[in-house]
Amino acid sequence: MKNILFIFFFFLAGSFLLAPAVLATGIPEPQISVEIGSFKGFNEGEGWTESGGNLEVDWIGQYIGAIYNYGVAVAGVLAVIMIMVGGFLWLVSAGNPNQISTAKDFITSALTGLLLALFSFIILQTVNPRLVKLEGITVSQIQPINTVGGTDSSSGIAITPERDGTGSDGDYWTGGNPVEYTQRNEGYNPCAYRDSLGNLTIGYGHLVTGADNINEGDCISSERANELFEDDYQDAIDDAVGFVGGEANWNQLDADRRTVLVDMAFNLGGGGLDSFVNLQAAVVNGIETGDATYWVTAGAEIVDSIYAGQVPNRARRNSEIMISGAMDALLH
């Protein structure tokens, strides 16, 4: 009997299918195809709230609560029917002990089931109060991923939008010195600080790691800053060499165009530079064919990017150098 009742309620709950609808606010509102007792459906605007950028939905809790209330009501009706059946069997038993025993079993089971249904709330609350709270679901707002900001685990270089470099372009002309060019773009701070992304940074944009043994507020000498920069810069060179396809292509590339790629690798990290697929194709084609139009394309790819939106001045300078092949372009 218990198995039959369980299967009955299982299919009863499954029969109340939800069909989607849309509120005027654009939030999907479920609608039940079969009414559940006194529960006629969800009212517009009820069942969801926006809090702290999250969407809190308690429609499922309302739905389960309605099924529970309906189930208790059905259980009560069935229990009364079974008590009536037991009473009828007792009346017509004519003193037969077996029929009287059967009738008592009917009545006892029905009363037990009715009491369990009526006191199920208290039982569930005693076992675990969360079973009766019917909490809604909180859907967190999707957080954007900054494809420029962040850090690159392979190079240990902090990547932050404030490293854009200000002043006139002529201030970044270093007579062809690639190291000084990136240093000027990064800026210098001898004391450890938190950048705009919360990364502990020091010197020429170096992302502090545990191996550095540097805490926030600690300061280092210029010699130590240069040591950190040299390691980071070599990582950026390695990333740039890989970007163009290896040493053979790298050796054919103009020195100032190399400077651009290394500077971008320093700022973006190797993974960030590798995301410039069209730039990569234009550079490789420019190396292999010598066609100047590929350098124009490469320059355009630099400024037509999220990277350029984060560090527009730096990206524009790199674009001009990439197109012309000469850092002297910054003087014009």
Instruction: List, for residues 297-306, the tens digit of each pLDDT value.
Output: 999 999 999 8
Per cent of the chain over pLDDT 90 is: 27
Q: Which amino acid is at 200?
A: L
Environment class of residue 246 by beta-carbon count within 10 Å: exposed (0-12), middle (13-18) or buried (19+)?
exposed
Give whole-number Cα distances, 14 to 67, 110, 159, in Å.
10, 25, 52
Give the confidence band of 226 by pLDDT, cuts at 50, 70, 90: very high
**Cα–Cα distance for residue pair 197/31, rounded to 1 Å:** 44
> Please, are residues 30 and 42 in contact by the beta-carbon 8 Å criterion?
yes
- 71-75, 125-129, 147-151, 181-185: which has the highest mean pLDDT? 181-185
pLDDT in tens, 287-300: 999 999 999 999 99
CATH number, span 150-331: 1.10.530.40
> Percent helix, strand and coil across the chain, each rounded to 5?
60, 15, 30
> How far apart, in whole angstroms, are the C-alpha atoms of residue 215 and residue 203?
13
- Residue 27, pLDDT > 90, answer no
At residue 267, does pLDDT exceed 60?
yes
pLDDT of 8: 44
Strand 189-194 to 157-159 pairing = unpaired
Identify which has the larger pLDDT, 37 or 206. Answer: 206
CB atoms within 10 A of CB 254: 16
**Which tokens belong to 46?**
């009820």
- Looking at the chain, the domain(s) classified CATH 1.10.530.40 span 150-331
Work out the end-to-end distance of the chain between its first and last CA atoms, rounded to an integer number of angstroms.
Answer: 93
Six token digits for residue 281: 């194709």
Please state, in angstroms and rounded to a whole number, the distance separating the CA atoms of residues 302 and 322.
9
